[in-house]
Amino acid sequence: MLDFLNPIKGFGVTFGTMFRKKTTEFYPEEKKQVAPRYHGRHQLNRHPDGLEKCIGCELCAWACPADAIYVEGADNTEEERYSPGERYGRVYQINYLRCIFCGLCIEACPTRALTMTNEYEMADDTREKLIYEKQDLLGPLTEGMAVPPHPMYPGTTEKDYYLGEVTEADPSQFTEVDSDTDPEGAEATDEVDATGRPAAEVIE
Ligand code: SF4
Ligand code: SF4
């Protein structure tokens, strides 16, 4: 093809596009519907009695190709229990400046503690606000859930939780709620970082 015809070909694309049906998005007034399995913001899930599913194993962090997850596990005690079994995730951070929303972390999670929501409105104006802490990622407490820390459902073992035998909190689990704990399950603290969230160690 002769080179001097190239500009004419280019205008041909413009001309053809002028007559196509226009797609107008009214975002943000109308939120765009995403596919049901869209990879959006992560969520740390709870058992039906409110205990956390995360066991602090760090498999999600090791699976992440972008090194976006930081986890520190700790031991549950009889006085302070956040998850069934031995360990829970004491510190949990996802750095959304690094995350590429590939979903490898949720595949790696052995307890289905970590899943992804359809939430995509995550833009913010500082780097700090894009590092989400555990309290930002924990799923909400719904009806029938007690605020951790609290004991496991009476007469159960951690295996019962994973077999789906526990379907809601027992009244005795509510009585053990520590009044110093906030409704999101994070320990109440006076220390806050630049974003207004409780201060915690941040991924470099
Ligand atoms: S979605 Fe991918 S990049 Fe983001 S935290 Fe999970 S594994 Fe890492
Ligand atoms: S989210 Fe899952 S993989 Fe990650 S530390 Fe918790 S239990 Fe382990």
Q: Is residue 198 domain-resident?
A: yes
What tens digit of pLDDT does each residue of 159-175 get? 999 999 999 999 999 96
Q: Is residue 23 domain-resident?
A: no
| Spatial distance between the Cα atoms of 162 and 115, rounded to a whole number of angstroms | 16
Handedness of CA 125, 131, 133, 139 (dihedral sign): positive
Give the list of residues 6+ apart from residue 117 with CB closer than 8 angstroms, or none: 40, 41, 42, 43
What tens digit of pLDDT does each residue of 38-65 get? 999 999 999 999 999 999 999 999 999 9
Could you tell me the pLDDT band of residue 185, with boundaries at 50, 70 and 90? very low
Average pLDDT, integer, range 147-159? 96
Host domain of residue 166: 37-204
pLDDT at 102 exceeding the cut of 50: yes
Beta bridge partners of 42: 116
pLDDT at 201 exceeding the cut of 50: no
Give the list of residues 6+ apart from residue 62 with CB closer than 8 angstroms, or none: 108
Question: Is residue 185 within 8 Å of residue 52, measured between CB atoms?
Answer: yes
Query: For residue 160, what is the domain's CATH number?
Result: 3.30.70.3270
Instruction: Tell me how far the alpha carbon of residue 54 lies from the centroid of ligand 1, in angstroms.
Output: 16
Average pLDDT, integer, range 127-153? 96
Q: Which residue has the tokens 């503690």?
A: 113
The pick from 43, 57, 115 for probing ligand 2's pocket by mutation, whose C-beta has the most ligand atoms within 8 angstroms, reads 57
Protein residues with CB under 6 Å of any ligand 2 atom: 54-60, 71, 89, 108-109, 111, 113-114
What pLDDT sits at residue 157?
A: 95
For residue 128, the one-letter residue type is: E
H or E element that contains 75: strand 69-75
Could you tell me the pLDDT band of residue 1, with boundaries at 50, 70 and 90? low
Q: Is residue 6 domain-resident?
A: no
Ligand closest to Cα of 105 equals: 1
- The number of beta carbons lying within 10 Å of the beta carbon of residue 150 is 24
What pLDDT sits at residue 192?
A: 37
Q: Is residue 93 domain-resident?
A: yes
Q: Is residue 30 domain-resident?
A: no
- The domain tally of the chain equals 1
Q: Is residue 64 domain-resident?
A: yes
Average pLDDT, integer, range 105-114? 98
Q: Is residue 18 domain-resident?
A: no
Q: Is residue 134 domain-resident?
A: yes
Q: What percent of the chain has pLDDT over 70?
A: 85
